[in-house]
């Protein structure tokens, strides 16, 4: 569930009217619900209560310092994929000793920085990388904690761009090779400590079945590595999906209650009940790496309707946000509900909602029946808290939008809107 709902005919984030935020701060504008973020984190943490575990937030989903600070105060761990993300976590008050560093292309500078900061573990994606980390650690006179990422060859049945657990994906070491890699490392690499095992099969999974399949397949491997090499943790990854369709309605408990079991999206309670029996007796610290689940439905992108254009084939609603602000529809064919800030009536019109970018792919929906909002009105693109601002760009020389964090009745600007002068900083 989440903190967005209509109250007295206006769309609110917690206790703040989004129309007021749009008028005060302009659009495009990202708005996040602090209490939604905290609720999702706490529920996931509670789902694994009773076993040694840590929820390590995937920073790439939303790396705003204020978002990271919220989670650091909850004693979250952090899953990072760059030296820059580690720097952000530290600046937000996060503990490097609770950071795991993933990614297939870590540079020497990043490895050195992570070692100097004392991260919990590198999640290693290849034997070549493992040997390079050993070399860098040796040059620094330290021992690097590592976990090798296993690719279990499990089909997550998600979009091909966010599937990571099949043999043809670039991530991890093939399941059939993994034990040999650990054996060679233990004998040949003196500057690494085999601390754990990691896996991640993909993002936006809406069924528990792929998770169960992967955990069942890899659990015996984790047990074997614990016996042979003394590993202490197993990261089972993230990937829990969120509601994109009917996103606004899903903020209410009765929406979930009315869904038949076969239609109800994956809940964290179902996830925990299915996974816990498979991992509770392993004697390993279990790490989870959620990103989208924590922040996805905790954010919206507000955008102002500029024009309406009616043609022989289509009606276009042209808004002031573009694919540079939210690229998911263009990149992933991602669905975002589009709702007016003033509660609409039942009338619908089939439209394309498009942005100002000079690309045919700059659209937020095509041929979708929506409330008939008009030029001058503001709408919200729901479920924009994950992979929204973090993937934004200055394409077409457009300033990045501002970000707002709402906590109850308080709305705080947590990133200022870029100015035109900001766009030229660093250029000669």
Give the active site residues: 358
Residues 6+ apart with CB under 8 A from 272: 47, 48
What is the C-alpha to C-alpha distance for residues 334 and 408, in angstroms, rounded to an integer? 29
Strands across the sheet with 4-7, in order? 4-7, 10-13, 16-17
* Residue 152 known to bind ligand: no
Largest CA distance in the chain: 71
Residues 114/83, Cβ–Cβ less than 8 Å: yes
Residues 241/204, Cβ–Cβ less than 8 Å: yes
* Residue 292 known to bind ligand: yes
43 to each of 228, 242, 258, 267, 293, how far by Cα in Å? 34, 14, 21, 10, 11
Q: Would you give the distance in Å from CA 127 to the centre of its chain?
A: 27
Range 340-379 burial, b when 16+ CB lie within 10 A, else e? bbeebeeeeeebbbbbbbeeeebbbbeebebbbbeeebbb
* Residue 387 known to bind ligand: yes
* Residue 289 known to bind ligand: yes
* Residue 398 known to bind ligand: no
The CA-based angle 58-104-85, given to 5 degrees, is 35
What is the C-alpha to C-alpha distance for residues 130 and 78, in angstroms, rounded to an integer? 21
The CA-based angle 325-331-333, given to 5 degrees, is 105
Cα distance between the two ends of the chain: 48
3-state secondary structure of 189: coil
* Residue 359 known to bind ligand: yes
* Residue 328 known to bind ligand: yes
The CA-based angle 86-87-89, given to 5 degrees, is 65
User: Is omega for the bond preceding 28 within 30 degrees of 0, making it cis?
Assistant: yes
Dihedral sign, Cα of residue 313, residue 315, residue 319, residue 325: negative
119 to each of 113, 124, 144, how far by Cα in Å? 9, 13, 9
219 to each of 191, 215, 236, 284, 385, how far by Cα in Å? 27, 6, 10, 11, 32
Annotated binding site: 239, 289-292, 328, 332, 359, 387
**Binding residue positions for pyridoxal 5'-phosphate:** 239, 289-292, 387
Residue positions in the annotated binding site for substrate? Answer: 292, 328, 332, 359, 387
């Amino acid at each position: 569930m989440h903190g967005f709902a209509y109250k007295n005919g206006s769309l609110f984030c917690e206790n703040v009217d989004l129309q007021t935020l749009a008028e005060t701060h302009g659009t495009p504008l990202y708005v996040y619900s602090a209490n939604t973020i905290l609720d999702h984190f706490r529920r996931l943490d509670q789902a694994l209560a009773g076993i040694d575990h840590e929820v390590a937030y995937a920073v790439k989903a939303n790396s705003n310092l204020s978002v990271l600070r919220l989670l650091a105060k909850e004693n979250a761990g952090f899953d990072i994929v760059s030296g820059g993300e580690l720097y952000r976590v530290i600046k937000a008050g996060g503990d490097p000793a609770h950071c795991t560093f993933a990614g297939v292309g870590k540079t020497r500078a990043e490895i050195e920085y992570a070692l100097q900061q004392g991260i919990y573990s590198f999640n290693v994606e290849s034997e070549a990388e493992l040997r390079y980390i050993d070399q860098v650690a040796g040059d620094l006179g330290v021992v690097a904690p590592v976990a090798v990422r296993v690719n279990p060859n499990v089909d997550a049945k998600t979009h091909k761009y966010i599937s990571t657990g099949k043999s043809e994906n670039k991530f991890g070491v093939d399941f059939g090779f993994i034990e040999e890699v650990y054996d060679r490392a233990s004998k040949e690499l003196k500057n690494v400590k085999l601390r754990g095992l990691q896996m991640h099969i993909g993002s936006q999974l809406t069924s528990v079945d792929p998770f169960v399949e992967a955990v069942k397949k890899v659990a015996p491997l984790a047990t074997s590595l614990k016996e042979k090499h003394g590993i202490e943790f197993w990261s089972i990854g993230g990937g829990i999906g969120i509601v994109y369709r009917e996103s606004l309605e899903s903020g209410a408990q009765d929406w979930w209650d009315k869904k038949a079991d076969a239609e109800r999206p994956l809940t964290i309670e179902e996830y925990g009940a299915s996974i816990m029996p498979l991992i509770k007796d392993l004697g390993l610290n279990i790490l989870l790496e959620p990103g989208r689940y924590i922040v996805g439905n905790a954010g919206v992108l507000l955008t102002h309707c500029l024009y309406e254009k009616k043609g022989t084939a289509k009606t276009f609603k042209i808004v002031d946000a573009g694919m540079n602000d939210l690229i998911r529809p263009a990149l992933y064919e991602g669905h975002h509900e589009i709702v007016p800030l003033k509660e609409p009536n039942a009338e619908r019109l089939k439209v394309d909602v498009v942005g100002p970018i000079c690309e045919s792919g700059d659209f937020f929906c095509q041929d979708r029946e929506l409330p008939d909002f008009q030029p001058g009105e503001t709408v919200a693109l729901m479920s924009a808290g994950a992979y929204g601002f973090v993937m934004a760009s200055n394409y077409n020389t457009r300033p990045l939008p501002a970000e707002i964090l709402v906590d109850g009745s308080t709305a705080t600007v947590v990133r200022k809107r870029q100015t035109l002068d900001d766009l030229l900083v660093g250029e000669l």
